[in-house]
Amino acid sequence: MIPEVGAFSLILALCLSMMLATLPIIGAYQNNFLWMSMARPLSAGVFVFLAISIAILAYAFVTDDFSVQFVAQHSNSLLPDRYKFTAVWGGHEGSFLLWTFMLAGWMLAVAIFSKSMPLEFVARVLGVLGFLITGYILFMLATSNPFDRIVPLPPIDGADLNSALQDFGFIIHPPTLYMGYVGFSVVFAFAMAALLSGKMDAAWARWCRPWANTAWAILTLGIALGSWWAYYELGWGGWWAWDPVENPPLITWLFGTALIHSLAATEKRGVFKAWTVLLAILAFAGSLLGTFITRSGLLTSVHAFASDPDRGFFILAILGITVGGALLLFAFRAPLMKSEFGFDLVSREILLLSNNVILVVAAASVFLGTLFPMVYQAITDDLISIGPPYFNAIFIPLMALLALLLSIGPYTRWKRTSTTYLMQQLGKIALAALTLGVVLPLLVTRQISLPATMAVAIGSWIMLAMLQDLMNKTANKATRLKGLRALSFSYYGMQMAHMGMAIMLIGVALTSSFSSERSVLLSPGQDVGLGNYVFQFEGTASVNGPNYVGEQATFTVLEQGQEIAILHPERRIYLATNTPSTEMAIDAGFLRDLFITLGEQKEGDSWSMTIYVKPFVRWIWLGAIFMTFGGILAAADKRYRRLRRKQTESNRDSEKSNPIGGELQAGS
Amino acid sequence: MKPHRRKKLGIILFIAAGLSVAVGFTAFALKQNINMFYTPTQVAEGEVGAGQHFRIGGMVKTGTVLGATDSLKVKFVTTDFVSDVPIQYEGILPDLFREGQGIVAEGEMDAAGVFQASRVLAKHDENFMSPEVKAALDAAGASTDNYMPGGAN
């Protein structure tokens, strides 16, 4: 009975979202105050009913209701409770419910935190989101209802959650990634609302910026969590595989990064208006593309869900209608978007434009590499794959170029910057960065290596430029502290995200160039050396978990004869599915990770295993954390809140004087 | 031409030049890194050029997996139930590698007709069969249904 309530609640959410998709938008056209003002309560209603749905699904998991097909396929009575709860997103149906619920959460947030915008605009934003969520719920009810029952004979026990998913990373990575992904729907809805209203001034950009920054920050964290999880769970020692399902979030992220930069130019200077709208559409299309690739099963990937062509077709239809419709609307409105064009060749506008061109080219080449095999197969019927070397060949030079320009950006001024000023400010920094790049690796490793030099030079180029900029900005205040306090959250957010980029680049460059690995066969008592470390295999013992049995090995790691770590990699067999799984052991450190994966037992007591030393690998995720905080800091800037207060007051005044049509003027 | 128009044109030309360089490099990189996929039958019929780097997919033939006792070398035979191709690999096989399971291997043929794999992939979800392996079996006319535990969902 209870699962039926969940399905019923989904249907109710569908009814409400259909109303949300139509009434407020029509209301905004006809200037019908009542219909427009229904947007907020309807959004709240959709949220509530989707929350009930997902709570009921979670309840079915926790109470082991295996008559529900989705629960039977993805849970087992032996599964620990925390994984029973998170198994809600352990398969296609439930994870799509989570995705839809996340969108409802964003809608609720827009409904609550939109007091500064005119009602007409809010009605359109929520209406567009209502249209999207209608499509999602229809998709769920038509092709992938998580509440479908197995009748008449439900299984006694479930098939268990995929063993690779029984991990902490699985608890946090999907929700965070989805939240960031779906956040770009909100940005898309803002752009659509602006297009629908025909008022393409800087106002929509200002309203949109905190949302875009927040979505970007969460997406950054979501991708980084996925990378970190893959690193310690999949046991191949890598942190990014250019897998077809990893790429769409990256494409979305690249478009999103371009977008948050061009939004700044649109808001402050009224330039690149049409371009910014286009980027908002592209970022959103990237997020739908990810859903399509994951759920249609068209590409080979570790992430792919067991697939069904109907689903792929349905998602393709949603993608076609929303993105196609958006581009059509864009084409009609583009002539309205006249950008002012008053800037010189050396100016902040040009730097932001370069940033955008680089990021969009990067996104396009990742897109090409991801979809090319599919297109090639459709045309020639031959199966091909595009390897990581393609992506590396494109991506590394582009990111290096981006990093070079990144330091110059904050020094430029809007409209015009003198080249002499830039030279005078940055010349010394460039010299210092180059010197550091040559000397520092030489001192530490006693050899010259190009990747290390590049990494240190680019990293210090960004960080030194940042410090110098901070000094400049605080130079005229009474004390440095006062100066630091006077700087805005946006400024700190930007610097922090840029520093994150520097940290990540250093990590990527060093770990890619200096990681070492060795696959060996060892018997207890034997040891093997790698780099400065000696790994001593002590032996194995059997372990029993709640739903698995396994062997646990013990290793002692020595550095110059000193014991520095004891590691316990495991080899498990999950009982319900009889699947083997390796649990690697990692000794994590700021400067290096030591990492062992256990293979299989060979003749006698000997085991095959792979041992890795990965310098600076943590810096990759540390950089992402900096970026996330940077994005959130920028979104939390006081000026958005000031704006909200001011605007709320003026909205209230205008409503008082003209209770029906008073929202029209509250634009700027 | 008005000055601001000229500037606009300059910027557009600059972007266009940048984009064409990018497109050129991308196309080149793409061409260098395409891995063709072949089925065991295609390999047996000699469709693969000498020294070509490619992917092969099929089932691990039951009873053919031979691991060396003193090293990490493994030999097995992959099949689409029409033709067989022997594969040699040195390293640790993925968790879900086992006999009767679909795999995809990447590498090249040596002079002796053995496929020297640099990478072996098996799926994480055993209900899910790689489209490549499925295509290989379909092409050979073998029924795939019997080899998918849990049925074709």
Alpha-carbon radius of gyration of chain B? 22
Torsion of CA A633, A634, A639, A640, to 10 degrees: -100
Banded model confidence at residue B57, pLDDT cuts 50, 70, 90: confident
Banded model confidence at residue A414, pLDDT cuts 50, 70, 90: confident
Which residue from B29, B72, B93 is facing A521, i.e. has the nearest CB? Answer: B72
Selected residue of A70, A311, A361 to mutate for chain B interface (largest B Cβ count, 10 A): A361
Question: In angstroms, what CA-CA distances link A532 with A212, A449, A526, A561, A589?
Answer: 45, 19, 17, 10, 15
Residue B151 confidence (pLDDT): 27
DSSP assignment of A11-60 equals: HHHHHHHHHHHHHHHHHHHHT-HHHHTTHHHHHHHHHHHHHHHHHHHHHH
Chain A residues within 8 A of B92 when measuring between CB atoms:
519, 597, 599-600, 608-610
Which residue from A302, A520, A597 is facing B124, i.e. has the nearest CB? Answer: A302
- Give the torsion sign (CA, B51, B53, B59, B65): positive
- Whether residues A389 and B4 touch (CB distance < 8 A) is answered with no
**B153 in any annotated domain:** no
Selected residue of B72, B118, B153 to mutate for chain A interface (largest A Cβ count, 10 A): B72
Going by their DSSP bridges, the two strands B54-60 and A570-574 should be labelled as unpaired
How deeply is A449 buried, as exposed, middle or buried, from its count of CB atoms within 10 A (0-12, 13-18, 19+)?
middle
How deeply is A636 buried, as exposed, middle or buried, from its count of CB atoms within 10 A (0-12, 13-18, 19+)?
middle
User: What is the per-residue pLDDT across A132-182, written as a single tens digit (0 to 9) for each?
Assistant: 999 999 999 998 899 999 887 888 888 888 777 888 889 999 999 999 999
**Closest alpha carbon to A411 in A403, A402, A399, A419:** A419
**B152 in any annotated domain:** no
- For residue A580, the cross-strand partners are A573
**A135 in any annotated domain:** yes
**B135 in any annotated domain:** yes
Residue A655 confidence (pLDDT): 46
A418 — phi, psi (to 5°)? -80, 140
- Whether residues A383 and B34 touch (CB distance < 8 A) is answered with no
Residue B133 confidence (pLDDT): 66
Banded model confidence at residue B52, pLDDT cuts 50, 70, 90: confident
Among A389, A424, A441, the domain boundary falls at A389
Domain count, chain B: 2
Residue A103 confidence (pLDDT): 96
At a CB cut-off of 8 Å and minimum separation 6, what does A431 contact?
A: none
Task: Give the distance from residue A604's alpha carbon to the nearest chain B alpha carbon, in angstroms.
Answer: 9
Chain B residues within 8 A of A387 when measuring between CB atoms:
33, 35
Inform me whether the pLDDT recorded for A25 exceeds 80. yes
Chain A residues within 8 A of B29 when measuring between CB atoms:
365, 389-390, 393-394
Query: A169 near A225, Cβ under 8 Å?
Result: yes
Task: Give the distance from residue A35's alpha carbon to the nearest chain B alpha carbon, in angstroms.
Answer: 44
- Whether residues A579 and B25 touch (CB distance < 8 A) is answered with no
Chain A residues within 8 A of B91 when measuring between CB atoms:
519, 610
Which residue from A298, A386, A579 is facing B30, i.e. has the nearest CB? Answer: A386
At a CB cut-off of 8 Å and minimum separation 6, what does A395 contact?
A: A362, A365, A366
User: What is the per-residue pLDDT across B95-104, written as a single tens digit (0 to 9) for each?
Assistant: 778 788 888 8
Banded model confidence at residue A495, pLDDT cuts 50, 70, 90: very high
Residue B147 confidence (pLDDT): 36
Average per-residue pLDDT in chain A? 87
Inform me whether the pLDDT recorded for B144 exceeds 60. no
User: What is the per-residue pLDDT across A417-461, written as a single tens digit (0 to 9) for each?
Assistant: 788 888 888 888 899 999 988 888 888 777 778 888 888 999 999
Of residues B73 and A40, more confidence is placed in: A40
User: Judged by CB atoms within 8 Å, which residues 72-101 of A form the interface with B?
Assistant: none
Residue of A nearest to B36 (CA): A384
Same domain, B58 and B87: yes
Which residue from A159, A577, A602 is facing B67, i.e. has the nearest CB? Answer: A602
Percent of chain A at pLDDT exceeding 70 = 93
At B59, which CATH number?
Answer: 2.40.50.140
Task: Give the distance from residue B35's alpha carbon to the nearest chain A alpha carbon, in angstroms.
Answer: 5
Percent of chain A at pLDDT exceeding 90 = 49
Chain A residues within 8 A of B69 when measuring between CB atoms:
602-603
Residue A375 confidence (pLDDT): 83
Same domain, B102 and B45: yes
Query: B34 near A364, Cβ under 8 Å?
Result: no
Same domain, A522 and A384: no
**B48 in any annotated domain:** yes
Place of tokens 């926790």: A62
How much is the average pLDDT of B71-96?
Answer: 87
Which residue from A162, A519, A608 is facing B125, i.e. has the nearest CB? Answer: A162
Residue of A nearest to B5 (CA): A341
**B54 in any annotated domain:** yes
Of residues A379 and A543, more confidence is placed in: A543
Same domain, B26 and B1: yes
**B90 in any annotated domain:** yes
Of residues A163 and A23, more confidence is placed in: A23
Task: Give the distance from residue B67's alpha carbon to the nearest chain A alpha carbon, in angstroms.
Answer: 8
Same domain, B82 and B132: yes
Question: In angstroms, what CA-CA distances link A246 with A226, A253, A286, A289, A656?
Answer: 9, 11, 12, 11, 51
Residue A252 confidence (pLDDT): 95
Residue B130 confidence (pLDDT): 60
Banded model confidence at residue B145, pLDDT cuts 50, 70, 90: very low
Question: In angstroms, what CA-CA distances link A222 with A10, A171, A211, A292?
Answer: 27, 12, 16, 18
How much is the average pLDDT of A512-539?
Answer: 90
Chain B residues within 8 A of A386 when measuring between CB atoms:
30, 33-35
Chain A residues within 8 A of B130 when measuring between CB atoms:
300
**A627 in any annotated domain:** no
* Domain region containing A575: 516-616
What's the CA gap between B85 and B97, in Å, rounded?
17
**B1 in any annotated domain:** yes
- Whether residues A394 and B36 touch (CB distance < 8 A) is answered with no
Residue A505 confidence (pLDDT): 92
Chain B interface includes A372 (CB < 8 A)? yes
Same domain, B127 and B110: yes
DSSP assignment of A110-167 equals: HHHS-TTS-HHHHHHHHHHHHHHHHHHHHHHHHH--TT-B--S---SS-----GGG-S
**A161 in any annotated domain:** yes
Chain B interface includes A346 (CB < 8 A)? no
Residue A91 confidence (pLDDT): 85
Same domain, B30 and B45: no
- Give the torsion sign (CA, A414, A282, A278, A641): negative
Percent of chain B at pLDDT exceeding 70 = 77
What's the CA gap between A451 and A455, in Å, rounded?
6
Banded model confidence at residue A185, pLDDT cuts 50, 70, 90: very high
Residue of B nearest to A235 (CA): B94
Give ∠ CA A630-A635-A636 in degrees, rounded to 5. Answer: 95
Banded model confidence at residue A652, pLDDT cuts 50, 70, 90: low
Alpha-carbon radius of gyration of chain A? 27
How deeply is A289 buried, as exposed, middle or buried, from its count of CB atoms within 10 A (0-12, 13-18, 19+)?
buried
Task: Give the distance from residue A599's alpha carbon to the nearest chain B alpha carbon, in angstroms.
Answer: 6
Domain count, chain A: 2
Residue A644 confidence (pLDDT): 60
How deeply is A537 buried, as exposed, middle or buried, from its count of CB atoms within 10 A (0-12, 13-18, 19+)?
buried
Residue of A nearest to B104 (CA): A300
Same domain, B135 and B72: yes
- Whether residues A580 and B131 touch (CB distance < 8 A) is answered with no
Task: Give the distance from residue A514's alpha carbon to the nearest chain B alpha carbon, in angstroms.
Answer: 20
* A61-75, A285-299, A400-414: least confidently modelled range: A285-299
Residue B152 confidence (pLDDT): 27
Q: What is the ipTM of this complex?
A: 0.77
Place of tokens 């409770």: A81
Which residue from A299, A357, A602 is facing B15, i.e. has the nearest CB? Answer: A357
Inform me whether the pLDDT recorded for A305 exceeds 70. no
Give ∠ CA B113-B117-B123 in degrees, rounded to 5. Answer: 125
User: What is the per-residue pLDDT across A263-282, written as a single tens digit (0 to 9) for each?
Assistant: 998 888 888 888 899 999 99
Q: Which long-range contacts (CB under 8 A, 24 or more apart) does A463-469 make?
A: A463/A499, A463/A502, A464/A429, A464/A432, A464/A433, A465/A407, A465/A408, A465/A410, A465/A411, A465/A426, A465/A429, A466/A407, A466/A410, A466/A495, A466/A498, A466/A499, A468/A425, A468/A429, A469/A410, A469/A411, A469/A495
Residue of B nearest to A339 (CA): B8
- Whether residues B131 and A299 touch (CB distance < 8 A) is answered with yes
**A116 in any annotated domain:** yes
Inform me whether the pLDDT recorded for B143 exceeds 60. no
- Whether residues A300 and B11 touch (CB distance < 8 A) is answered with no
Query: A642 near A490, Cβ under 8 Å?
Result: no
Banded model confidence at residue B1, pLDDT cuts 50, 70, 90: low
Residue A297 confidence (pLDDT): 62
Going by their DSSP bridges, the two strands B34-38 and B84-90 should be labelled as unpaired
Residue A565 confidence (pLDDT): 92
Going by their DSSP bridges, the two strands B73-79 and B66-67 should be labelled as antiparallel
Question: In angstroms, what CA-CA distances link A160 with A77, A91, A164, A547, B97?
Answer: 8, 11, 11, 9, 20
DSSP assignment of A273-328 equals: HHHHHHHHHHHHHHHHHHHHHHHH--S--TTPPS--HHHHHHHHHHHHHHHHHHHH
Place of tokens 């950008």: A339
Chain B residues within 8 A of A300 when measuring between CB atoms:
104, 130-132
Same domain, B131 and B105: yes
Going by their DSSP bridges, the two strands B34-38 and B54-60 should be labelled as parallel
**Closest alpha carbon to A21 in A135, A97, A102, A100:** A135
Residue B123 confidence (pLDDT): 62
Residue of A nearest to B153 (CA): A306
Query: A217 near A137, Cβ under 8 Å?
Result: no
Same domain, B112 and B135: yes
User: What is the per-residue pLDDT across A526-577, written as a single tens digit (0 to 9) for each?
Assistant: 999 998 899 999 999 999 888 899 999 999 999 988 999 999 999 988 888 7
* Domain region containing B71: 36-147
Going by their DSSP bridges, the two strands B54-60 and A516-522 should be labelled as unpaired
Inform me whether the pLDDT recorded for B148 exceeds 50. no
Banded model confidence at residue A115, pLDDT cuts 50, 70, 90: confident
**Closest alpha carbon to A90 in A598, A582, A625, A577:** A577
Same domain, B80 and B140: yes
Same domain, B47 and B18: no
**A34 in any annotated domain:** yes
Chain A residues within 8 A of B125 when measuring between CB atoms:
162, 304-306
Q: Which of A47-56, A227-236, A338-347, A504-513 has the highest mean pLDDT?
A: A47-56
Task: Give the distance from residue B51's alpha carbon to the nearest chain A alpha carbon, in angstroms.
Answer: 17
Selected residue of A93, A384, A522, A578 to mutate for chain B interface (largest B Cβ count, 10 A): A384
